[in-house]
Amino acid sequence: MSCAMMATTGFFMSSATPRSSSQAPITTPQTSVPVRTIPGSYGFPVLGPLSDRLDYYWFQGQEAFFKTRIEKNKSTVFRTNVPPSFPFFLANPNVVAVLDVKSFSHMFDMEIVEKQDVLVGDFMPSVSYTGGLRVCAYLDTSEPSHTKVKNFAMDLLKRGSSLWIPTLVSRLNTMWDSIEDDLSKSTSASLPLPQFLFSFLTRCFIGAETSTSPEIDANGADMMQRWLFLQLLPTVPLNILQPLPEIFIHSFAYPFFLVQGDYNKLVQFVETQGQELIQRAETEFNLTPQEAIHNVLFILGFNAFGGFSIFFPSLVSALESQTTKGLQEKLREEVRQHCGTDPSKLTFESVKKLELVQSFVYETLRMNPPVPMQYARARKDFELSSYEQVFEIKKGELLCGYQPLVMKDARVYENPEEFVPERFVGEKGKELLNYLFWSNGPQSGTSKVGNKQCAAKDFVPLTATLFIAYLFQRYDSVSISSGSITGVVKA
Ligand code: HEM
């Protein structure tokens, strides 16, 4: 186990308050505590998984599904099934749920778990969606290609960093101009996020303007959304009248050929506009052109476009919250004090001084982790500790964590259900970064080839901080209702 991991997990023995990093790592079982049988059951074959699937998607919904089972089993660690399952999936729905900070953290220890093909559970979308290749997010750290591709991903960010802020600012200019335009004609305007994100990320990762291809410029964001959505459909809860989703959407995987045309156009775009990138992938990272193209599309489309498409709306909605009165004024004051009013002068250094804005961003990630489900498979038999309990995990068992509940663990977070914008401010606040897990690892940890933490662990919160800084440089306040912009007061 790495030092960062030990520092992260050091406080967990049985206390409610974070303790110092010098204590024993989380995976050390408490000797005085007897090993307990994992509660819960998988039920009868076919019927158990089907009934759990209906609860998960229909009768209870994700959050209530896990909450009721915690209550029933009187434990945050238990056996259950998670979809997809019956009738047309070969995936094994049996998992061990880990729903508190301490038990969840075992999923970051690459000595005891592996992450091969478990990005969205035992089910894996067809590799046709990724050019017949298993891309970075599906590779375990023991696979040599993981090292190559993760280094490539981190290099993409490093190289893109000089373009990151100017491109972000220019795309935000376009986005907010268009929102103001809409507001001059209507009482509310939605955020045109897909276009903004697609254009921003394409420029930073591929080094190309979408305008170099009229078709990609006009439809690239939609193409990417369709590709992303179709491969994930079996795992996504949908707000559509039941039982339609259970019959038509969650019962089988949709074939790639439905989006093949879209994907091929995106591939062609990378092939023609990303020549330099492909060459660098070959010479510096020993990747084939195909590996480079499909990995960069996955990073751009799945990791970045997909992640920000969920994260930014929750960030904007958090500004609307009724319980955080006066929040916009405080954020604006801090932004103006450290970054002034000129977005062209924003830098990574200047936004790092925005303690409250950063804390607000972290709190949004805590309350609404954009990737709610995480999985990891036991690499070997080991003992998994929860607070007062220890369980035996057998090699091959799949652990499953539902982060929205884990991030409300009352042993770590005071008033866990409350959105507290300043929660991560100050020394005590910084300590809590050890337990903020949106990136599949602690926010205080380091993403590297030896772990499976998001390559953009620092870029994501910094980009969100820039997004908020820009907003309060441009506006004194913004009115938001149900995620749409209903008014702006210009600075
Ligand atoms: C809001 C945006 C994002 C969110 C919420 C997010 C979240 C995550 C999560 C949860 C994982 C781990 C998945 C798992 O194995 O369980 C992950 C992995 C990854 N992310 Fe992100 N991510 C975001 C943006 C980005 C961006 C901008 C990049 C660009 C480089 C990126 C690159 C990656 C890569 C390469 C991995 C795989 C890491 C590995 O295999 O070791 N992500 N991300």
Q: What is the pLDDT of residues 136-169, one digit of tens each?
A: 999 999 999 999 999 999 999 999 899 999 999 9
Residue 87 CA to ligand 1 centre (angstroms): 31
What percent of the chain stands above pLDDT 70?
A: 93
Q: Dump strand ranges (E) for 82-199.
A: 94-98, 113-114
The pLDDT assigned to 89 comes to 85
Ligand 1 contact, 149 CB (< 6 A): no
Assign 90 a pLDDT band (cuts: 50, 70, 90). Answer: confident
φ/ψ region of 40 (left if φ > 0, alpha if ψ in -120 to 50, else beta) reads left
Residue 305 CA to ligand 1 centre (angstroms): 11
Which phi and psi (to 5°) does residue 422 adopt? -95, 15
Ligand 1 contact, 152 CB (< 6 A): no
Ligand 1 contact, 85 CB (< 6 A): no
Ligand 1 contact, 137 CB (< 6 A): yes
442-482 tens-digit pLDDT: 999 999 999 999 999 999 999 999 999 999 999 999 999 98
Ligand 1 contact, 364 CB (< 6 A): no
Assign 27 a pLDDT band (cuts: 50, 70, 90). Answer: very low
Sheet strands side by side (includes 35-36): 35-36, 390-393, 382-385
Residue 454 CA to ligand 1 centre (angstroms): 4
Gap between the Cα atoms of 174 and 44, Å rounded: 55
- Atom 37, ligand 1: which residue's CA is nearest? 137
Residue 438 CA to ligand 1 centre (angstroms): 9
Ligand 1 contact, 377 CB (< 6 A): no
Q: Which among 270, 446, 451, 440 has a CA at the least distance from the CA of 370?
A: 440
- Atom 7, ligand 1: which residue's CA is nearest? 439
- Atom 39, ligand 1: which residue's CA is nearest? 452
| Average of per-residue pLDDT across 164-193 | 96
Gap between the Cα atoms of 183 and 71, Å rounded: 47
Closest atom of ligand 1 to 154 CA is 30
* Domain boundaries defined on the chain: 1-128+372-406
Residue 378, beta-bridge partner list: 113
Asked if 277 and 113 touch (Cβ cutoff 8 Å), the reply is: no
Ligand 1 contact, 457 CB (< 6 A): no
Closest atom of ligand 1 to 300 CA is 29
Both tokens of 98, joined, read 């880990």
For Cα atoms 229, 66, 389, give the angle at the middle one, nearest 5 degrees: 130
Gap between the Cα atoms of 435 and 22, Å rounded: 16
- Atom 27, ligand 1: which residue's CA is nearest? 304
Gap between the Cα atoms of 472 and 215, Å rounded: 34
339 assigned binding-site residue: no
pTM: 0.93
Ligand 1 contact, 459 CB (< 6 A): yes
The pLDDT assigned to 476 comes to 95
Gap between the Cα atoms of 19 and 450, Å rounded: 26
Closest atom of ligand 1 to 308 CA is 1
φ/ψ region of 66 (left if φ > 0, alpha if ψ in -120 to 50, else beta) reads alpha
Question: What is the best residue among 106, 108, 303 to mutate for testing ligand 1's pocket, by most ligand atoms within 8 Å of CB?
Answer: 303
| Average of per-residue pLDDT across 205-209 | 95
Both tokens of 20, joined, read 């110092």
Question: What torsion do the CA atoms of 428, 356, 312, 232 make, to the nearest 10 degrees?
Answer: -10
Q: Encode 243-259: b = buried (16+ Cβ within 10 Å), e = exposed.
A: eebbeeebbebbebeeb
The pLDDT assigned to 107 comes to 98
What is the separation of C-alpha 70 from the centre of its chain, rounded to a whole number of angstroms?
A: 24
**CA-based end-to-end distance of the chain:** 50
Which of 17-31, 280-294, 435-449 is the least confident region? 17-31
Ligand 1 contact, 138 CB (< 6 A): no
Residue 50 CA to ligand 1 centre (angstroms): 31
